[in-house]
Structure 1
Amino acid sequence: MLCTVGRPLPLATWLAVPLLFSIAVLGLTGVGGLLLGAPGSLTLSSPVFGAGVAVGVATSSSVLWTARWQRAWLRWPYLVAVLTLGVLLHGVRVPVVAVVGVGVPVTVLLVTGYFLERRRTAALAEAGLASAAPPC
């Protein structure tokens, strides 16, 4: 079992994590392509979606499930669906400008959310309402 760090993750946020992570990786790949003068399109790759699913698995232990059935009947089928989407989209060519235009703001969103959550957790720990270290 994985450690839960910080506050529980809302279900809606967790549902977005695998897709947002995949989009962020694609966006950063697109930025690299633009900097290196790559062609005007980027080929989608199923391993990128697989990495997003891995992040979903890693964060699923910290989700605030609203019902018991969700842990088994929503958690795994959703992640399999995201992986299947990645396999189906493998090889599809997308304009680099579109990938960067969507991926970079998503990356900024994820990094900003990370730092805001760290700040909230530190404030809660300072107030004695949460532990600064994970209970593992």
Structure 2
Amino acid sequence: MFCTAERPMNQRLWLAVPFLFSAAVFGLLGSAGLITASWTTVPLYPVVTGAGVAVAAAVSGGVRWRRPWQRTWLRWPYLAAVLVFGVLMGAVEVPALVTTVVGLPVLLGLVFQCLVQNDESQPASNCR
């Protein structure tokens, strides 16, 4: 059984989750390309966008929705639109340096946020 956070997620933050996740993964791809000198551009893979949508869908149960109807009528159409946008952007290639410069700070911010959240909920967490 999954446990939700003790504090519900802000709706605006949830709207950014697919893009933040995708930016972090593209930052890793860009930095790997720069380090190995294997490629200079990173295609915007639809699979990465799909994974970002899956992460947003997984955490959507812990979102503080402003109105009850938003849980259904905002959540699923928004995720579908982001997924369609990611599939349409699949042919675009971005320079590896740009993805690294944008993605690595996002990745560090997400890791920091996870560590802070984990420290705050450590004593009260009793779930498996």
Q: When the two structures are superposed, what TM-score results if normalisation uses the length of structure 2? A: 0.92
In structure 1, what is the Cα distance between the partners aligned to 2:91 and 2:2?
A: 33
Match of 1:55 in 2: 55
Match of 2:111 in 1: 111
Match of 2:6 in 1: 6
In structure 2, what is the Cα distance between the partners aligned to 1:41 and 1:119?
A: 37
In structure 1, what is the Cα distance between the partners aligned to 2:73 and 2:2?
A: 19
> Is the contact between residue 2 and residue 58 of structure 1 (CA under 8 Å) also seen in structure 2?
no
In structure 2, what is the Cα distance between the partners aligned to 1:12 and 1:119?
A: 23
Match of 2:43 in 1: 43
Whether 1:133 and 2:115 are equivalent positions in the alignment is no
Length, aligned pairs only: 128
- Percent identity over paired residues: 45
Runs of 4+ in 1 over 3 A off after TM superposition: none
Match of 2:15 in 1: 15
In structure 1, what is the Cα distance between the partners aligned to 2:100 and 2:117?
A: 25
Counterpart residue type for residue 49 of structure 1: T
Larger Rg: 1
In structure 2, what is the Cα distance between the partners aligned to 1:4 and 1:106?
A: 23
What secondary structure does 1:64 align onto? coil
CA RMSD, aligned part only?
Answer: 1.6
In structure 2, what is the Cα distance between the partners aligned to 1:6 and 1:37?
A: 44
Instruction: Could you tell me which runs of 5 or more consecutive residues in structure 2 were left unpaired when the two chains were aligned.
Output: none
The Cα offsets for residues 77-135 of structure 1, whole Å up to 9 and x where unpaired, read as: 1111110110110021101100000000000010011111112223xx4xxxxx3124x
Instruction: Could you tell me which runs of 5 or more consecutive residues in structure 1 were left unpaired when the two chains were aligned.
Output: 126-130
Report deviation, 1:2.
5.0
